[in-house]
Amino acid sequence: MGKSSLVKAVHAHVNGLGEAAIRRLVLIEIAREDIEALPRLMRVIAREDARFIVFCDDLSFDKDETSYKSLKTILDGGLEGRPENVLFYATSNRRHLMPRDMVENERSTAITPGEAVDEKVSLSDRFGLWLGFHNCDQPTYLAMIRGYCDEYGIAIDDETLRARAVGPRGDPVRQGTGGRTGQGHPMKTEHRLRWSHGEATVLANSAMLADCTFTVDSRPFAPFARAPWLGTVDDPTITGHLRVLAGDFVGLPFGSGQGFRNAPPEWAALPGLPAYRSTHGTAADGDWSFVEADDGNVKLSIDYPADSAVVRIEREITPRPDAPALDFVMRIFARRRALTSAGLPELPPARNARPAGTEGGFRVRPHPSRPDRHRRPARIPEPVCRTKG
């Protein structure tokens, strides 16, 4: 929860002090896999005039690893150890830089109980200063998100912030309540789904499915269009799905509201009204919040305006295990009884014309009659809001 951010903040702060004794403080991040190169790095930077923080993020060691010995040498100091102008910072999610079960296991199986594990545990003891980062409670978590919103100038009332941060049902979010999670919920802009038969990105904007590639018989297959302007629009008058037009999204109400040209008489009599608020409604014209997100599932939610007959929509996209397929669920929660249009645009790309009479191209075929595998009871239970306590 903010461990590596703290290291970087310390570096920025010290450099910003402009103290004469510290002419230059350099932060070097070293990958976990490169720990064995530490002695060589030390020899190089020891000759420099600057001071260094050598930083390893998410450091830990698994069973049978010996690379920790390089780090131990550095931490010990001495001839081959840490030069005077170097401090070593590390973050870890493990108390002793190794799994708890490994500590216990080695303690119980060593010839001299405790000796084998002590060498690795002693590594963690060689750090001069320990700072604990404990899980925060929900009020602290919400305060952190409020801080992010203030920082980014996002105007949001407490009730909406809480609903988006902890989920529409008041449940804690699946990922926990860490700082990165807190930052991610109101402002997370996309999520990548990965499974055995494909990859796809789901955007917060319009909950748009973008860049979906299935794997079919070991071949990549990207069946959806992608607007060439996706990700490049900075015109503030272009909003919502138009900025990110791609594979699959939700229209509620559905429709652009454009009238017919040369309409037949029975249609010409109908009013030529504009779309309600925007083309394909709030669902396609705003940022959704990520409620849950991991490799195998993503769930988003969007609130509708207070004067709408819809309270909110949830959208869930789930890769089908062991198949090149995606399953979608949309749940619509109403504020009052009403009729509304609804639609699910899927956008395969258009192709060039083929010479008349040649085989090939793109064929769309409605199947005349087949049971609908998606037919479920339309009624679903209303979620019960509850507070954690």
Partner 1 sequence: MGHIPLSPQTDKNVQLCGMKGPLTATWLDEGLGIELDWDRVLLPSLMIWHTDRGIGGPPWYNQFRAVGLEPIASAFDLATEVSAAANPINARGVATAINLDPAAPLEIRHSIRAFAAG
Site residues (CB under 8 A) for partner 1, limited to 41-100: none
Among residue numbers 145 through 204, which ones bind partner 1 (CB under 8 A)? Answer: 197-198
Residue whose CB is less far from partner 1, 133 or 362? 362
Residue whose CB is less far from partner 1, 155 or 364? 364
Q: Which of 14, 225, 287, 292 binds partner 1 (CB under 8 A)?
A: 225
Beta carbons within 10 angstroms of residue 168's beta carbon = 19
Residue 34, token pair as written in the block:
């490169």
Among residue numbers 344 through 363, which ones bind partner 1 (CB under 8 A)? Answer: 344-353, 359-363
Peptide bond into 253 cis (omega under 30): yes
Residue whose CB is less far from partner 1, 71 or 163? 163
Residue whose CB is less far from partner 1, 88 or 254? 254
Q: Which of 153, 271, 355, 389 binds partner 1 (CB under 8 A)?
A: 271
Q: Residue 336 CB, nearest distance to partner 1 (Å)?
A: 6
Q: CA-to-CA distance for 181 and 207, rounded, in angstroms? A: 19
Q: CA-to-CA distance for 194 and 210, rounded, in angstroms? A: 13
Q: CA-to-CA distance for 197 and 208, rounded, in angstroms? A: 20
Residue whose CB is less far from partner 1, 113 or 348? 348
Decide: helix, strand or coil at residue 150.
helix
Residue whose CB is less far from partner 1, 140 or 258? 258
- Whole-angstrom CA distances from 329 to 4, 39, 317, 332 are 37, 54, 7, 10
In the chain, the amino acid numbered 235 is D
Q: CA-to-CA distance for 374 and 299, rounded, in angstroms? A: 18
Q: Residue 158 CB, nearest distance to partner 1 (Å)?
A: 24
User: Shortest CA distance to 124 belongs to which of 83, 68, 168, 78?
Assistant: 68
Decide: helix, strand or coil at residue 259.
coil
Which range in 15-23, 103-111, 167-175, 371-379 contacts partner 1 by CB under 8 A?
A: 371-379
Binding mask 279-298 for partner 1 (x = CB under 8 A): --x-----------------
Which range in 114-122, 174-182, 268-276, 286-294 contacts partner 1 by CB under 8 A?
A: 268-276
Among residue numbers 303 through 342, which ones bind partner 1 (CB under 8 A)? Answer: 309-311, 320, 323-342
Residue whose CB is less far from partner 1, 344 or 385? 344
Kindly give, in sequence order, each residue whose CB lies less than 8 Å from that of residue 175, ignoring residues fewer than 6 positions away.
181, 184, 292, 293, 294
Q: Residue 294 CB, nearest distance to partner 1 (Å)?
A: 20
Q: Residue 293 CB, nearest distance to partner 1 (Å)?
A: 20
- Whole-angstrom CA distances from 64 to 34, 102, 113, 117, 120 are 17, 10, 17, 12, 11
Using CB under 8 A as the binding rule, whether residue 253 contacts partner 1 is answered as yes
Residue whose CB is less far from partner 1, 37 or 270? 270
Q: Residue 260 CB, nearest distance to partner 1 (Å)?
A: 8
**Is residue 293 a contact partner of residue 299, using CB atoms and an 8 Å limit?**
yes
- How many residues bind partner 1, per CB under 8 A? 96
